[in-house]
Amino acid sequence: MCGIFFSVAKNRHILPDQEAVDALHARGPDSYKVLKSTYHGDSDEKLHLTFISSVLALRGANIQQQPLHDPLSRSVFCWNGEAWKSDGVAIEGNDSAYIWHLLQISLPHSPERQHRITQVLSQIAGPFAFVFYDAPTATVYYGRDRLGRRSLLINQGDNGSLTLASTSTSTLGKSAAPSEISTETIHFLQFSGGGMIRGKLPWASAPYPINKSLPDTQIATLPSQQSVDDLLTHLRRSLILRSVDIRDHSHPQMTGDSAKVAILFSGGLDCTLLARIIHEILPPDEVVDLLNVAFENPRSLAAKGSVQGTAYELCPDRVTGRSSFAEICEVCPQRKWRFVAINVPYTESIAHKPMIMRLMYPHNTEMDLSIAMALYFAARGQGELLKVHSNVCSEPIPFLSTARVLISGLGADELYAGYSRHAAAFSREGFRGLADELEMDFNRIGSRNLGRDDRVMSCWGKEIRYPYLDEDFFRFSLDLPVWEKAGFRPGKPVPKHHEATGVARNPEDLEPAKMLLRLAAWHLGLKRTATERKRAIQFGARTAKMEAGKGRTKGTDILTAAA
């Protein structure tokens, strides 16, 4: 994880304001570097280019400082991401240096140069955002991976100046408002004379298609065991990339008992399945932190007549989290699992709200805030542990997780039909409607979620990784026929969202949403977890509608300055 800032202006070098500097340092606490350059065109005017990178070092033996700079060509590279593979080949060591090398060997002054640069970027598997100044052609290339798993915002000033940054900045004045860079293309700035031309380049690879085939006959059986086995194989490979070989002692507070990996742990199906598979990958003596967040919600407490002391333990995600924690400890007793109970008082959530709103911007709805608030405090990792001696729990003790890599289950619902609207689509139009709904959800996942989540969670010097959004895994998932992903079947009733289903006695009794993932959990011994139903984070952690007067607020309502 890194922070990127780039600016171009006619009259002077534009540096980030102090708020933006602090945000860049927070994203990348291991290194911070400024590099200035100028472009002299045919006219007397010149353009002032400023490149800044901060670095969170997670790969390679040493800290790779950025921006990367070639003194001969004067080209510059700022990289924020993880290139797991390039052209299908796994990348070992530092990925930023590897991609920089590939970009440097692009054919100089050749008509194929731009095509080569596009190819290099299109063949990367992994989350990334980048700024690459190709000085010989006076061109700045920039963008985000096609899913938008890393943040990059653009600001256009009235005087022709422009900035690109990982976080929002007010450098160009109040009249300039940032927007997220589209993931549909690679973008570029071509300098000419004293001005610049903005353009777009298509990705060199095809879009990700979804299998929309329909069955020849009525499907009545569960997804096949072969599909379960294949899913687990692909998910293990994805998790190996994201949980192994994390740089040792990358956090100044790390001790021998510190975790390198933490899981955002609601206790739901998606995250608990990831925890179960990680157990098979990491050495048995390596600790894994399970981060479970719960909020004091005054409206919920008043409505239920609850007392303040029970606010956190009665949160739905806390109840589910403790249940799934107990099950994974039963199934994998050799591992030291730490259940980190992150309890957020109402006063603390209100105190941090202005910061959260700045980080998530330009996303600015009530739903954005309730989701971002839960992710923000979960990523911080500050909570408490219950120590157990002779099977007796002691009083909670304060704890701060030092894991710099956070594993998220995001993407499973979009791939395997986990939302209630997927059941509704099947009820209306069968497998055809379900496939259309899944296609829409997957195609918009970057614009709806990922840039916002990256800005909100990385402010703690943490990197969020999404095993379900691994390129090989989601290609496998998209290629599956829809009846192999979900258990929706003609004539089989779908339970309503509010209906309790109880613990299934056999796989046939499992809820149809995300059936293939449920069967995978069942296969690995997580039978209680396989029964768990989908619950949105803002309701599970109780961040939705916390304040008085918010009872009739809709998630799509725009936040006001006083919100």
pLDDT at 482 over 90: yes
Backbone angles phi, psi at 286, to 5 degrees: -90, 130
The answer to whether residue 560 sits within a structural domain is no
Q: What is the mean pLDDT of the chain?
A: 89
The answer to whether residue 335 sits within a structural domain is yes
Same domain, yes or no: 237 and 198: no
Nearest to 223 by CA among 531, 522, 532: 522
pLDDT at 225 over 90: yes
Position 1 confidence tier, pLDDT thresholds 50, 70, 90 = confident
Q: What pLDDT shows up at residue 549?
A: 56
* Cβ-Cβ contacts under 8 Å for 430 (sequence gap 6 or more): 214, 490
Name the domain count of the chain.
Answer: 2
pLDDT digits (tens, 9 = 90+) for 144-199: 999 999 999 999 887 779 999 999 876 655 556 899 999 999 999 999 877 889 99
Q: What pLDDT shows up at residue 437?
A: 97
Same domain, yes or no: 476 and 522: yes
Tally the residues of the chain.
563
Same domain, yes or no: 235 and 102: no
- Cβ atoms of 543 and 349 within 8 Å: the answer is yes
Cis amide bond preceding 209, omega within 30: no
Q: CA-CA distances (angstroms) from residue 507 to 413, 423, 487?
A: 19, 19, 11
Rounded-to-integer distance, Cα 464 and Cα 480, Å: 26
Same domain, yes or no: 230 and 143: no
- Cβ atoms of 75 and 134 within 8 Å: the answer is yes
Rounded-to-integer distance, Cα 138 and Cα 327, Å: 58
The beta-strand segments (E) located in 349-435 are 382-389, 392-400, 405-407
Same domain, yes or no: 184 and 231: no
The answer to whether residue 558 sits within a structural domain is no
Using the structure block, give the residue that is written with the tokens 């000033």.
157
pLDDT at 295 over 70: yes
Rounded-to-integer distance, Cα 389 and Cα 476, Å: 45
Q: Which of 171, 202, 233 is the last residue of a domain?
A: 202
Structure tokens of 229?
């086995």
Rounded-to-integer distance, Cα 21 and Cα 442, Å: 34
Angle at 143 between CA 137 and CA 146, to 5 degrees: 130
71-80, 239-248, 307-316: the lowest-pLDDT one: 307-316
The answer to whether residue 557 sits within a structural domain is no
Same domain, yes or no: 326 and 379: yes
Nearest to 170 by CA among 372, 51, 21: 21
The answer to whether residue 267 sits within a structural domain is yes
The answer to whether residue 330 sits within a structural domain is yes
The answer to whether residue 187 sits within a structural domain is yes
CATH number at residue 519: 3.40.50.620
Cis amide bond preceding 127, omega within 30: no
Q: Which of 169, 202, 235 is the last residue of a domain?
A: 202
pLDDT at 383 over 60: yes
Same domain, yes or no: 103 and 239: no
Position 519 confidence tier, pLDDT thresholds 50, 70, 90 = very high
pLDDT at 562 over 50: no
Order of strands, sheet of 153-156, starting from the edge strand that comes earlier in the sequence: 31-40, 46-55, 2-9, 162-165, 153-156, 179-180
pLDDT digits (tens, 9 = 90+) for 411-459: 999 999 999 999 999 999 999 999 999 999 999 887 788 999 999 999 9
pLDDT digits (tens, 9 = 90+) for 528-542: 999 988 777 777 777
The answer to whether residue 447 sits within a structural domain is yes
| Residue at 163: amino acid letter | T
Position 93 confidence tier, pLDDT thresholds 50, 70, 90 = confident
- Cβ atoms of 81 and 99 within 8 Å: the answer is no
Same domain, yes or no: 289 and 324: yes
- Cβ atoms of 185 and 201 within 8 Å: the answer is yes
Residue 450 DSSP label: I
Q: What pLDDT shows up at residue 279?
A: 98
pLDDT at 13 over 70: yes
Rounded-to-integer distance, Cα 468 and Cα 342, Å: 25
Same domain, yes or no: 181 and 238: no
pLDDT at 358 over 50: yes
Q: What pLDDT shows up at residue 217?
A: 87
Same domain, yes or no: 478 and 359: yes
Same domain, yes or no: 117 and 230: no
Q: Which residues are catalytic?
A: 2
* Structural domain harbouring 424: 225-244+257-541
CATH number at residue 137: 3.60.20.10
Same domain, yes or no: 277 and 170: no
